[in-house]
Every structure is written in C-alpha cells, then in structure tokens.
C-alpha cells in the first residue's frame, strides 16, 4: 500500500525523516494542506504567504525528481488528511512533528483516526535539535533562563543530517483531486508589494543551501562582530529557510564544522535561542497573546488597554497615529525608520534593529507589544509563532529570561554605535537630513521616564 507523507514546516527533501520513512516504506504521495480553519490555527501573514507560494513550487520540483507527486489541498487538516489517505488507499501516514497546541490537537486527532482505520501513523523529530519535553531542569521543570538551557543542550552532539532519499517506486494509482497553487492566491496582486521580497530572496531549499555555504565560507569567521552591524552583511539571513524548514537545524549545525571558534559558538547559540523560543511556545501555547510574567497584565499600555479597550496611558492620546508612523518608518528616529522600511520592502529586518524598533514601540510609544508582534507577523518572511512572540516579550520585559524593563534602547545611541558611517540609514532613508524627513514624534527622555514610572506603578500595585 502507498503512504502519505504530510509536509508542514519542513519543506525540504534532504534531512526529512518523515519523507525518508515513507520512501523506505514503498510508494509515497506527498501532501501539503493550507489549513486556516482548524480551531486555534493562526493564519499566515502576507509576507509568509508569499514565501510559502514559492517554497511549495520549489518543493514540488524537488519531489518530482524523486518521482513523488505533491498534492495541495486547502481546508481543515484533520479532514483533508483522512480524505487523501482514504482516496489513495494508504497504509501509512508520516509527518514531522510540530509544536503549537492547536496543531498538536489536529495531529493527535489524525493519529487516533489512523489507529481506528488500521493505518500506521508515525511522526518524527525534524525541526528542532531537541524535543521540548526532553529538555528539563534537574527538578523536571521547564528552563526559564537561556544560559543553563543552552549549556545543557549544547554539550550534546546532534545527529548527522539525512541524505535525500533515493528515487523510489512511483505511485501508480489515480491521484485524488487537488488544488492548483494559484487558486490559493498566496501572492499579492494589487498592489503587488512583493517586488522587494523577490529582489532579496529566493525561497526554496536549493537557495537556502547556497546561502548557508556562502555564509560558512565568507561570513561565519567574522560573525561575532558582524552580527550586530546592520550596515554590513554580517548575519546569515538564514531565518526564513529555517522557518519554513527548507533547511533543518541539524544541517545548519553540522555545516558550522568545528564550533571552537568564538564566532561559530556564538552562531550555534543563536540556533539555541531559536530552540529556546520554540520550547517556550510548546510550554506556553498562548505566547502571542498572554504575558509570561503576569504582572505585566497591569502595565498601562497606551493602546490598546490591557483589557483590550482604548488608550489609558496619560500623555499618549495620539497612540494610533504614532503606531502608524512606526509601521511606515516615519517616526523621525532613523534607526527605527530604516528598520521598518527594510521590513516593509524585504520582509526581513536585522536583529539589532528589530530590538531597537520593538523597544521604541513598547517603551517610548508605550504601545502594547502584541500590536508590534502582529505587525511583524504580517510583514516578516521568517515570522514564526514561537520566535516572534518570544522575542517581543523579551524586549517588552514580560517574557522568559527577558531583557529587564529598565534596559531601554536609545535609538540614537544605537545608530551611532552600530551604523557609525550612516550607511544603513542612507540606504533606507534617502531623505534623511532633508526637510522631507519628519521630526521625532516623541521626546526620548520624557517617554523613557514615563515608561519607567509606569513600570514602577505596575510593580507597586498588588
Ligand atoms: P543570524 O544572526 O544569522 O542567526 C542565525 C539563526 O539563529 C537565525 O536565522 C534564527 O533562526 C536564529 N536566531 C537568531 N537570533 C534569534 C532570536 N533572538 N530568537 C530566535 N531565533 C534566533 N526570528 C525568527 O526566526 N522569526 C521571527 O518571527 C522573529 N521575530 C523577532 C521579533 C523581534 C522583536 C526580535 C527582536 C527578534 C525576532 N527574531 C525572529 C529573531 C532574530 O531577529 C532573527 O532570527 C534574525 O534577525 C534573523 O536573521 P539571520 O538569519 O541573519 O540571523
């Protein structure tokens, strides 16, 4: 009997344990489900949809080379997977595990259906170096601080990546009806805002491997310095490839070779932050909507209020306009604005600038981190349900092992330090220094003091 291999956040044929198991089992049919209907599933943002379209196109070709058809179906995954398996008379289902609560509920439902229907259903570890339930503190709890977390897992060696499976027996049966990718309308039409994304990125595993090889060859040795410099190509730009699973963390880990150099070990620890975020998400499924440190529920965010109502932070009545200025890169603070424009144009923002832009939103504008998280969710090609909220909560001070609230990034000081020649600013804000560029929309000193005052107030209420 043929099997179904169900692709999710693992859009690759190399180092794909589910695919490997399916091919070893005989003829296989691949399935990808665009599920925006199962309860609790967070629909992809616009930039992510763009990436997904191109990534699926690349995956389809890679699978075709193995003689495996890729079926695309839209709908609640539970139903679609069952229908597909039934239609092809499958004997087995294979997939790689995912970690959101809504997704795990869907997967558990399918597994139980498969058991009842006499199908073999098997899941594998592919997207994280360590399964969240395997990494526990000495007392069996969840790590809430990064350093001991990473010390524990990085001391281990991780398995070698799996090779692409050999071309197996093709599926000789009749394929059930499936969707045309175009019918999903994942690409923007009018206006087509994706031109800048296409200039910067080539989605798909082949492009991911090329970038990884270039980075290891040319960027890695200088990473410890370069990673902080938005005016250079100092970081790897591998995040969307990891997000969509076009590259696996095992492939990246092993490509680093010896991790004895300072740069390689810092780079490896960034993969560790990725793991840490996913583990937090596994343990806190509502990471995008609830403060991990619940005292932040009392923080008087300017907009919306912590109860979801309108603004309440005195002095911030203009928060909605300030939010729009932040989105558009018109705050008058060039480090923030350059980042927001880079994000809008390319679907990516440098990590240093993400921290500065996020800090400015939550601390200087006093706007709720969830609004920033949602904007990033819609505009980042690497937006994922773990790293995005975990990092927003890190900046806001409400997260696990978060940056202390009183550490408020000064966008001007950050600019001088990390863009010393002004190259990054000049690139993204050509009108900088002319009358067309706005004045700062807030006073950094006053808003900083207000933020600290609000934090003090939050701590004092019992
Ligand atoms: P590199 O510096 O080359 O790092 C290598 C890889 O390590 C990255 O590709 C990424 O997979 C991982 N990584 C690095 N830093 C982090 C981190 N702090 N948290 C988690 N993983 C990390 N990253 C995402 O992948 N998706 C997101 O949705 C996301 N949202 C963010 C939101 C905010 C407010 C902030 C401050 C950071 C966010 N990050 C997110 C983390 C980080 O900014 C990006 O991973 C990084 O900029 C990607 O560029 P790179 O591949 O060149 O990174």
ipTM for this model? 0.99
Last residue within a domain, chosen from 283, 305, 330: 283
Note whether 355 and 442 are same-domain residues: yes
Q: What is the rounded average pLDDT of the residues 232-245?
A: 97
User: Per the domain annotation, does 2 fall within a domain?
Assistant: yes
Note whether 3 and 147 are same-domain residues: no
- What's the CA gap between 292 and 283, in Å, rounded? 11
Q: Is the four-CA dihedral 123, 14, 249, 261 of positive or negative sign?
A: positive
The yes-or-no verdict on residue 167 having pLDDT over 70 is yes
Going from the Cα of 239 to the center of ligand 1, the distance in angstroms, rounded, reads 6
Under the banding of pLDDT at 50, 70 and 90, the label for residue 157 is: confident
Task: Report the pLDDT value the prediction gives residue 461, as an integer from 0 to 100.
Answer: 66
At 215, give phi and psi (nearest 5°): -65, -45
User: Per the domain annotation, does 62 fall within a domain?
Assistant: yes
Last residue within a domain, chosen from 283, 313, 333: 283
**Which two structure tokens, joined as six digits, stand for 113?**
């259906």
- What's the CA gap between 5 and 81, in Å, rounded? 10
- What's the CA gap between 112 and 99, in Å, rounded? 18
The yes-or-no verdict on residue 304 having pLDDT over 70 is no
The answer to whether 240 touches 203, Cβ cutoff 8 Å, is: yes
Going from the Cα of 351 to the center of ligand 1, the distance in angstroms, rounded, reads 6
Note whether 298 and 422 are same-domain residues: yes
- What's the CA gap between 366 and 454, in Å, rounded? 9
pLDDT digits (tens, 9 = 90+) for 244-287: 999 999 999 999 987 678 899 999 999 999 999 999 999 999 99
Task: Report the pLDDT value the prediction gives residue 156, as an integer from 0 to 100.
Answer: 85
Note whether 111 and 146 are same-domain residues: no
Q: What is the rounded average pLDDT of the residues 144-153?
A: 95
Neighbours of 359 (CB within 10 A): 23
Per the structure, the complete domain to which residue 241 belongs is given by: 128-157+205-283
Residue nearest to atom 2 of ligand 1 (CA): 235
Residue nearest to atom 52 of ligand 1 (CA): 237
Note whether 105 and 143 are same-domain residues: no
Query: What is the percent of the chain with per-residue pLDDT over 70, rounded to a whole number?
Result: 96
The yes-or-no verdict on residue 44 having pLDDT over 90 is yes
Note whether 141 and 221 are same-domain residues: yes
Number of separate domains in the chain:
3
Ligand 1, atom nearest to 227 Cα: 2
Q: What is the rounded average pLDDT of the residues 17-41?
A: 97
Segments in 73-140 forming alpha helices (H): 77-88, 101-117
Note whether 119 and 210 are same-domain residues: no
pTM of the model: 0.97
SS3 at position 325: helix
- What's the CA gap between 165 and 160, in Å, rounded? 15
DSSP category for residue 290: S
Task: Report the pLDDT value the prediction gives residue 302, as an integer from 0 to 100.
Answer: 82
Pocket probe for ligand 1: among 127, 270, 339, the residue whose CB has the most ligand atoms within 8 Å is 270
User: Per the domain annotation, does 416 fall within a domain?
Assistant: yes
- What's the CA gap between 170 and 311, in Å, rounded? 60
The yes-or-no verdict on residue 33 having pLDDT over 90 is yes
The yes-or-no verdict on residue 320 having pLDDT over 70 is yes
User: Per the domain annotation, does 177 fall within a domain?
Assistant: no
Note whether 327 and 449 are same-domain residues: yes
Last residue within a domain, chosen from 224, 250, 283: 283
Task: Please give the span between the terminal C-alpha atoms of the chain, in angstroms, as a whole number.
Answer: 63
**Which two structure tokens, joined as six digits, stand for 412?**
């001007």
Q: Tell me what the pLDDT averaged over the chain comes to.
A: 94
Task: Report the pLDDT value the prediction gives residue 309, as an integer from 0 to 100.
Answer: 52
Under the banding of pLDDT at 50, 70 and 90, the label for residue 462 is: low
Q: What is the rounded average pLDDT of the residues 183-204?
A: 95
Ligand 1, atom nearest to 277 Cα: 20
Ligand 1, atom nearest to 241 Cα: 9
pLDDT digits (tens, 9 = 90+) for 99-132: 999 999 999 999 999 999 999 999 999 999 999 9
Q: What is the rounded average pLDDT of the residues 2-30?
A: 97
Ligand 1 shell residues, CB under 6 Å: 227, 235-239, 242-243, 270-271, 273-274, 277, 351, 354-355, 358, 376, 380, 382-384, 387-388, 391-392, 395
Note whether 151 and 73 are same-domain residues: no
Residue nearest to atom 48 of ligand 1 (CA): 239
Note whether 121 and 132 are same-domain residues: no
Going from the Cα of 407 to the center of ligand 1, the distance in angstroms, rounded, reads 20
Task: Report the pLDDT value the prediction gives residue 306, as an integer from 0 to 100.
Answer: 47
User: Per the domain annotation, does 303 fall within a domain?
Assistant: yes
Pocket probe for ligand 1: among 382, 383, 400, the residue whose CB has the most ligand atoms within 8 Å is 382
Q: What is the rounded average pLDDT of the residues 349-360?
A: 98
Neighbours of 172 (CB within 10 A): 7
Residue nearest to atom 3 of ligand 1 (CA): 236
Going from the Cα of 269 to the center of ligand 1, the distance in angstroms, rounded, reads 11
Going from the Cα of 357 to the center of ligand 1, the distance in angstroms, rounded, reads 14
Residue nearest to atom 31 of ligand 1 (CA): 388
DSSP category for residue 190: S
Note whether 110 and 132 are same-domain residues: no
**The domain spanning residue 11 has which CATH number?**
3.40.50.620
Phi-psi category of residue 392: left, alpha or beta, with phi > 0 → left and psi -120 to 50 → alpha: alpha
User: Which residues have C-beta within 8 Å of that of residue 42, sequence separation ≥ 6?
Assistant: 100, 102, 288, 377, 385
**The domain spanning residue 347 has which CATH number?**
1.10.579.10
Note whether 106 and 52 are same-domain residues: yes
Ligand 1, atom nearest to 243 Cα: 25
The yes-or-no verdict on residue 402 having pLDDT over 60 is yes
**The domain spanning residue 239 has which CATH number?**
1.25.40.80
> CA-based angle 184:185:191, to the nearest 5?
170
């Amino acid at each position: 009997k043929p099997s179904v291999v169900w692709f999710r956040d693992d859009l690759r044929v190399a180092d794909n344990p589910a695919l490997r198991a399916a091919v070893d089992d005989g003829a296989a049919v691949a399935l990808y489900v665009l599920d925006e209907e199962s309860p609790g599933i967070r629909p992809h943002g616009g930039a992510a949809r763009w990436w997904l379209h191109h990534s699926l196109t690349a995956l389809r070709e890679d699978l075709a080379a193995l003689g495996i058809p890729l079926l695309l179906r839209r709908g609640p995954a539970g139903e679609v997977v069952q229908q597909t398996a039934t239609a092809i008379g499958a004997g087995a289902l294979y997939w790689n595990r995912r970690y959101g609560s809504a997704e795990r509920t869907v997967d558990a439902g399918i597994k139980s259906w498969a058991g009842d229907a006499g199908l073999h259903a098997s899941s594998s570890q592919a997207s994280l170096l360590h399964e969240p339930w395997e990494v526990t503190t000495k007392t069996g709890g969840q790590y809430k601080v990064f350093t001991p977390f990473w010390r524990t897992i990085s001391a281990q060696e991780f398995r070698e990546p799996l090779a692409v499976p050999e071309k197996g027996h093709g599926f000789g049966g009749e394929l059930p009806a499936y969707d045309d990718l175009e019918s999903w309308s994942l690409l923007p039409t009018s206006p087509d805002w994706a031109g800048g994304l296409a200039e910067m990125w080539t989605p798909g595993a082949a492009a991911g491997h090329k970038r990884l090889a270039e980075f290891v060859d040319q960027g890695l040795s200088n990473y410890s310095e370069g990673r902080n410099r938005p005016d250079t190509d100092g970081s790897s730009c591998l995040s969307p490839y990891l997000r969509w699973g076009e590259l696996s963390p095992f492939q990246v880990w092993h490509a680093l070779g010896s991790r004895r150099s300072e740069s390689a070990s810092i780079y490896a620890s960034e993969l560790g932050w990725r793991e840490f975020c996913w583990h937090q998400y596994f343990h806190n499924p509502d990471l995008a909507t609830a403060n991990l440190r619940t005292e932040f529920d009392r923080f008087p965010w300017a907009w919306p209020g912590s109860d979801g109502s309108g603004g309440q932070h005195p002095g911030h009545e203009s928060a909605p306009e300030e939010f729009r200025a932040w989105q558009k890169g018109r705050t008058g603070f060039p480090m923030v604005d350059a980042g927001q424009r880079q994000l809008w144009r390319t679907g990516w923002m440098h990590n240093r600038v993400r921290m500065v832009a996020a800090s400015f939103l939550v601390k200087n504008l006093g706007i709720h981190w969830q609004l920033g998280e949602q904007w990033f969710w819609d505009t980042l090609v690497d937006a994922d349900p773990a790293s995005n909220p975990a990092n927003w909560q890190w900046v806001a001070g409400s997260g696990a092992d978060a940056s202390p609230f009183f550490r408020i990034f000064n966008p001007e000081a950050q600019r001088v330090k990390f863009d010393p020649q002004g190259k990054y600013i000049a690139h993204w804000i050509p009108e900088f220094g002319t009358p067309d560029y706005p004045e700062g929309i807030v006073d950094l000193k006053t808003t900083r003091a207000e933020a600290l005052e609000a934090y003090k107030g939050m701590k004092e209420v019992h």
